[in-house]
Amino acid sequence: MKILLFYAPSFWFKTYKKVLPDVPDQDAESMTESAVVVLYHAEAEDSDKKSGVITKLVKNIKWLAGKFKTKNVVLHSFNHLSVSKAPPELARELIEGAKQRLARADFNIVETPFGYLNEWKIHVAGDSLAKVFKEL
């Protein structure tokens, strides 16, 4: 899995177009303030190391959230970080596992609808740590 993490004083999204036929129909829009925004890309090789990927994902999110003293997280599927792509089912399994662990740690989680193209606006803070790339 590859992730881009941003500390965003504000993040807004709205569903634009459904691209996976098996996901539920949704029309969603949301604004979140003071959040760690996670653009994630699940890769095919993540199937061999699911638990470790989830652990590292949660650890990185908690680390950046701690730096900016926030409990707000936005998760957004962003399949543009690698040529290797996991099946949608694997991506969902990994993110669901991360969401469960984050919820147990009292994080507020917003997820852009999976299987949709979304329009979004992100205000990223200027701090160097507000922009982080990781390979898990």
112 part of a folded domain: yes
Structural domain including 21 reads: 2-126
Which CA distances in Å does 90 have to 70, 85, 126? 28, 10, 34
Give the end-to-end CA distance of the chain in Å, rounded to a whole number.
5
For residue 82, is it within any domain?
Answer: yes
Helix (H) or strand (E) holding 67: helix 50-67
Q: Which amino acid is at 102?
A: L
Instruction: Give the pLDDT band (50/70/90) at residue 80.
Output: confident
User: Would the pLDDT of 63 be above 90?
Assistant: yes
pTM of the entire predicted model: 0.93
Number of domains in the chain: 1
pLDDT tens string 8-27: 999 999 999 999 999 999 99
> Domain containing 29 — which CATH number?
3.50.80.10
pLDDT over 90 (residue 75) = yes
Q: Is 29 contained in some domain?
A: yes
SS3 114: coil
In this structure, is residue 132 part of a structural domain? Answer: no
